[in-house]
Structure 1
Amino acid sequence: MSASDSRSIICVSIARGRHRHVIAEHHYLAEQGVKLVEIRLDYINGPVNVKRLLNERPCPVIMTCRRERDGGRFRGTEQERQLILRTAIAEGVDYIDLEEDIAASIPRYGQTKRIISYHNFHETPENLQALYDRMATLDPDIIKIATVANHPQDNLRMFQLVAQSRIPTVGLCMGDIGIPSRILAGKFGAPFSYAAFHSERTLAPGQLSFEEMRDVYRYESIRPDTEVYGVIADPVGHSLSPLIHNAAFQRLGLNKVYIPIRVPREDLFEFIDQAPQWGIKGLSVTIPHKEAILAKLTKADSIVRGIGAANTVIFEGNERLGYNTDCRAALEAIETALGASPKDPTPLKGKHALVLGAGGAGKAVAYGLLRAGATVTLTDGDEEKARLLAEKLDCPYVKWEDRHSVACDILANCTPVGMHPNVDETPFDPKYLRSHMLVFDAVYNPENTLLIKDARARNCKVVTGVEMFVRQACMQFKLFTGLDAPADLMREVLKRATSPAKW
């Protein structure tokens, strides 16, 4: 039976020093619905009692005793290590993990299934097929290949290998660039993917926790026909977009998953060309790709053309359609705070705004404000950046050190100043805040930045980054699905994720 005939499951690795802790975690995980665990024998302090670990096991077990060179902790002799592996087989363990270089010397015995494994902590080898073919000669029930991803394309090569393998294959890319391979393993036919017991006890670079795999990505619901969406950035680990989009997909019962994809600048164009092969239907785009992505779009809306930045890409056949939901979201949030109504649909007309930051968010906010009839002054720590954007938008700019001299009705922070973990920083001296001002902060983690706190203390109207973030995400969700997003749920999930208790 091929791996794709059944739904892929999560295998949770248990790595504890004492037998009783291993047994306790195994029973806890089984109660949580885990169907397979890996017991890392190389983590156990002192002599290993395989029989004790297998007695009354609540779900099937893979036993692994990894050498240091393969990312493990076993420090005894190779003869001692292989004796432990042979003992596990003799005691009837469900699966035994054997590295490819020793697999031929440990024969099949009893009902134990053989996982033949290969690890490479430097790269994903060019010829994965040759590696697979070599491992296929070693009497495997399952082949496991774990390599480091140095480029997003390494994930795709691994997906393709897994999808065309005749022997069930678990192909994973390690490192943060390789995280998609862990989440999408089942989509391409892997019988299982690995997860850590807890996010603070990962056993391999880029490994996610069982809770993340189950609750955020709903791994065991992912099928070959599951549509893939994601956020591309570098770095991407801070993004909370997967939390809110996956919660929304789940609420509406959609067969879709949203994943974080780290894409270095130099890999962007090749990644976009290959994205449909991943099953990707839509992307959120953030730093540093919002401007560069334009070169790969076949069509772009008027806002994208006006700003020169896109934060959303939809793949439709051979088309790559670009949108910017940041601009509309910021504008709606600001207009709502100013009391927009049918009688006064354009409360920004005649207002003067100071926009801090000339990056992707600054471009979107400044462009939107200008289109709505406000006058805008730009500033940025990089004066040349501010000058070029001011030239493009035909508005004035000031040097960063002169920003407090600008009289304004609206102050819009579009810099990352004040973002977690630098929560004690502000881009604007509070003594220059006035009660008639509206203060907008694009930073959403934390929601109550020091700038927002200072603005509230001076009775300013405020618009937090959470409001803009949720609005732009809802617009993206509509582009992704054609459906209205569950905005209240997305807001609640985001606020919970950014609450001080999480730090």
Structure 2
Amino acid sequence: MGSIPLSSDGLTMVCAPIMGESVDQAIDQMHKAKTQGADVVEVRLDCIKHFQAHQDLEIILKNKPLPVIIVYRPKCEGGLYEGDEMARLEALRSALKLGADYVDFELKVASDVISKQNRLQCGGTKVIVSCFLDGATPSEEELSNLAARMQATGADIVKVVTSASNITELARLFHLLSYSQMPVVAYSVGERGLISQLLSPKFGGTLVYGSIEGKAIPGLPTLESLRKAYKVEYIDSGTKIFGLISKPVGHSKGPILHNPTFRHMNFNGLYVPMFVDDLKEFFQVYSTSDFAGFSVGFPYKEAVVQFCDEVHPLAQSIGAVNTIVRRPSDGKLIGYNTDCEASVTAIEDALQECRCINGKQSLVSPLAGREFVLVGAGGAGRALAFGAKIRGARIIIFDIDFERAKILANAVSGEARPLGDLPYFQPEKGSVLANATPIGMHPNKDRVPVSEASLGVFQLVFDAVYTPRKTTLLKGAEAAGAIIVSGVEMFLRQAIGQFNLFTGGEAPKEFMREIVLAKF
């Protein structure tokens, strides 16, 4: 298979790192990568144990199912190779002579290796010149100068890899991609670097990397998610960016719901997870119209209010925002809360259904006059508390921060209790229990916020946690005979509200529900 120019048709190519410990493993992984949607593979020779340069390269290139990038990375450049440098460079020269589609040379050796004479011997092989930058990501000007130095070596493609400690550093990589006059690969490793892969197609990146199923790499999406959830082939410069601001962010199911819905409605948007450490810095850096809206998750729903230019009255009264939209006319950030109605209507509907089964129907909320036991006074808890108050429930609030619980209780005319009292609390028969803490979330799935003995007293138990779909708390409540409402139902309803705000249109509710039922 001959070499093809990356992004020959203007599209970013999907590349899978191949890190097999033997030639056979590498070949097997290449075939899996093709099956899972890769356009090209990057074979890491430094991962192969007992590597025999000429012999093993011939086998790899003879059996490749896709165009191949050959990389032989030394430890000082983020790789595994610790042997003789001359032997390493000779192996890369062999890859050139054997007709590899692409060969990657580090900047420090590129000028010596990529001479005019060697280029004449390359045939159709393209040369990638790469640089791994440890520590803080350089400024936009420094990155541009670095790319120019790399291009001057005779590179066909330049590749810059950083190890960003803050998501805001990635904006400098996006700037490099947007303004480069030649093919560029630029991304950051690690969880905070994830959007450097996902947004690469928007800003003109040459490659986006995705991992093979079962070979997860921190900071890399899977090939399957790139092809199915994110549909990178449809991302272009006009794509509007939406995302979840959270810490951590790995649990997010938003991309597998919002992205297919955007495409279903022919809306050019992309929803991505955003691991944010500093809200102020984040909003200062990502302040353009490209970043059109955000979901807000744990632990930022209350703190983010101060960074909104305007806040919807309901969100203002709750003191928590879970949705932000950048107003197109003036770029201002408008904060909303879709959690409130989502969570309370999910609980109401479950209780109403129970009433209908028992032959009773009423226009009055089934929460009216009912004891509502809330665990957690953070952003999600505040939404639940205000929703329950509007419906006339009597609210009792437990939180690890007793002062915070008292402030919320005062706002909703409820009662605050120390979290330490919860295991001994005796609820009224027919009460509602709502967990609005991360207790029970993956990976700490076995924890529950209340004593199992009390679960049978509650008529309904709601858990805002939606990963897993049926938490340990809900399993125990169901076994005790309570009605259970999963956080998945709240997630779906608040996402429908968010979609309406993000797009200015009407969300396809049944389409979104089908996705949730199939994927969660």
Q: Same fold (TM over 0.5)?
A: yes
- What is aligned with 2:446? 424
**Unmatched 5+ stretches in structure 1:** 499-503
Q: Distance in 1 between matches of 2:31 and 2:452?
A: 55
1:200 to 202, 211, 215: 215
Q: Among 382, 402, 405, which residue is 1:386 paired with?
A: 405
Mapped pair 1:10 → 2:14: yes
C-alpha distance after superposition, 1:232-257 (max 9, x if no partner): 11111122222222232244343221
1:357–1:415 contact (8 Å) kept in structure 2:
yes
Contact in 2 for aligned 1:290/1:311 (Cα 8 Å): yes
User: Is 1:223 aligned to residue 227 of structure 2?
Assistant: no
SS at match of 1:45: coil
Paired residue type of 2:31: H
3-state SS of the aligned residue for 2:365? coil
Alignment partners' CA distance in 2, 1:122 and 1:199:
29
Equivalent-residue separation in structure 1 for 2:209 and 2:247 (angstroms): 24
Contact 2:296–2:322 (Cα < 8 Å) also in 1: yes
Structure 2 Cα separation of the partners of residues 31 and 362 of structure 1: 44
Counterpart of 1:274 in structure 2: which amino acid? V
User: Does the residue aligned with 2:210 lie in a helix, a strand or coil?
Assistant: strand
What's 1:92 paired with?
99
**Is 1:71 the counterpart of 2:78 in the alignment?**
yes
Q: How does 1:435-446 map to 2 (within 5 A)?
A: 437-446=459-468
Counterpart for residue 359 of structure 1: 378
Asked if 1:237 corresponds to 2:267, the answer is: no
Q: Does 1:398 align with 2:426?
A: no
- What is the Cα deviation at residue 482 of structure 1? 3.1
Q: After TM superposition, list the pairs within 5 Å mapping 1:21-60 onto structure 2.
A: 21-46=25-50, 47-48=52-53, 49-55=56-62, 57-60=64-67
Give, in angstroms, the shift of residue 272 of structure 1: 1.6
Q: Note closer, same or farther for the CA distance 1:19–1:453 as it changes in structure 2 (3 Å cut).
A: closer
Map 1:38-187; keep pairs closer than 5 Å.
38-46=42-50, 47-48=52-53, 49-55=56-62, 57-107=64-114, 108=119, 109-126=122-139, 127-187=142-202
CA distance in 2, matches of 1:207, 1:121: 18
| Secondary structure of residue in 2 paired with 1:158 | helix
- 1:174: Cα distance to partner? 1.5
Residue 291 (1) aligns with residue 312 (2)? no
What corresponds to 2:387 in structure 1? 368
Conservation of the 8 A alpha-carbon contact between 2:36 and 2:224: no
Q: 2:428 touches 2:457 (CA, 8 Å); kept in 1?
A: no
Q: CA 1:355–1:308 in 2, change beyond 3 Å: closer, same or farther?
A: same
State whether structure 2 residue 483 is matched by structure 1 residue 461. yes
1:445-489 Cα offsets, whole Å, 9 max, x none, are 222223222322232222221111111111111211234434455
Q: Secondary structure at the match of 2:152?
A: coil
Q: Please give the secondary structure, in 1, of the residue aligned with 2:135.
A: coil
Structure 2 CA distance, aligned partners of 1:423 and 1:34? Answer: 34
CA distance in 1, matches of 2:111, 2:447: 60
The question of whether the paired residues in 1 share the 8 Å contact of 2:14 and 2:37 is answered with: no
> Does the Cα contact within 8 Å between 1:353 and 1:377 map onto a contact in 2?
yes
CA deviations over 1:287-324 (Å, ceiling 9, x no partner) = 12111211121221121111111000001132211111
Structure 1 residue 407 corresponds to structure 2 residue 428: yes
Give the number of equivalent residue pairs.
494
Alignment partner of 1:304 is 2:319 = no
- Change in 2 beyond 3 A, CA 1:435/1:354: closer
Q: CA RMSD in A?
A: 2.3
Residue 501 (structure 1) aligns with? none
Letter in 2 for 1:232: I
User: CA deviation digits over 1:312-355, x for unaligned, max 9?
Assistant: 00011322111111111011111111218995152222222111
Equivalent residues of 1:156, 1:278 under 8 A apart: no
Given that residues 344 and 388 in structure 2 are in contact (C-alpha distance below 8 angstroms), is that contact kept between their aligned partners in structure 1? yes
Q: Distance in 2 between matches of 1:209 and 1:450?
A: 28
TM-score w.r.t. the length of structure 2 is 0.89
SS of the counterpart of 2:90?
helix
8 Å CA contact 2:302–2:378 kept in 1: the answer is: no
Deviation at 1:201, TM superposition (A): 4.5
2:221 and 2:480 map into 1 onto residues whose CA distance is 43
Distance, in Å, in 2 between the alignment partners of 1:71 and 1:103 is 17
- 1:385-431 Cα distance to aligned partner (Å, 9 max, x none): 21122233332212223341343622111122222233322212232
In the superposition, relative to structure 1, how do residues 16 and 454 fare at CA in structure 2: closer, same or farther (>3 Å)?
Answer: closer
List alignment gaps of at least 5 residues for structure 2: none
- Partners of 1:21 and 1:382 lie apart in 2 by 52
Distance 1:274 1:251, change over 3 A: same
Identical-pair percentage: 37
Q: For residue 101 of structure 1, give the secondary structure of its aligned residue in structure 2.
A: helix
CA distance in structure 1 between the aligned counterparts of 2:305 and 2:457, rounded to whole angstroms: 40
Q: Kindly state the Cα deviation for residue 23 of structure 1 after the two structures are TM-superposed.
A: 2.5
Offset at residue 183 of structure 1 (A): 0.6
Structure 1 window deviating more from structure 2 (282-291 vs 2-11): it is 2-11
Give the conservation status (yes or no) of the 8 Å contact 2:244–2:273. Answer: yes
SS across alignment from 2:397? strand
Determine if contact 1:229/1:259 at 8 Å carries over to the other structure: yes
Contact in 2 for aligned 1:4/1:189 (Cα 8 Å) = no
Asked if 2 retains the 8 angstrom alpha-carbon contact of 1:2 and 1:167, the reply is: no
Secondary structure at 1:188's aligned position in 2?
coil
Verify the 8 A CA contact 1:227 1:279 in the aligned structure 2.
yes
The alignment's TM-score, normalised by the length of structure 1, stands at 0.92
Moved more, 484-493 or 388-397: 484-493
Is residue 136–residue 164 contact of structure 2 (8 Å, CA) maintained in 1?
A: yes
Aligned 8 A contact 2:164 2:189 in 1: yes
Partner Cα distance (1:217, 1:38) in 2: 21
Map 1:206-285 onto structure 2 (within 5 A): 206-264=219-277, 267-277=278-288, 279-285=290-296
1:327 aligns with 2:327: no
Letter in 2 for 1:426: V
Specify the code of the residue in structure 1 equivalent to 2:274: I
Give the whole-Å Cα distance in 1 for the aligned partners of 2:203 and 2:38: 21
**Cα separation, partners in 2 of 1:214 and 1:443, compared to 1, 3 Å:** same
Deviation of the 1:114 alpha carbon? 1.1
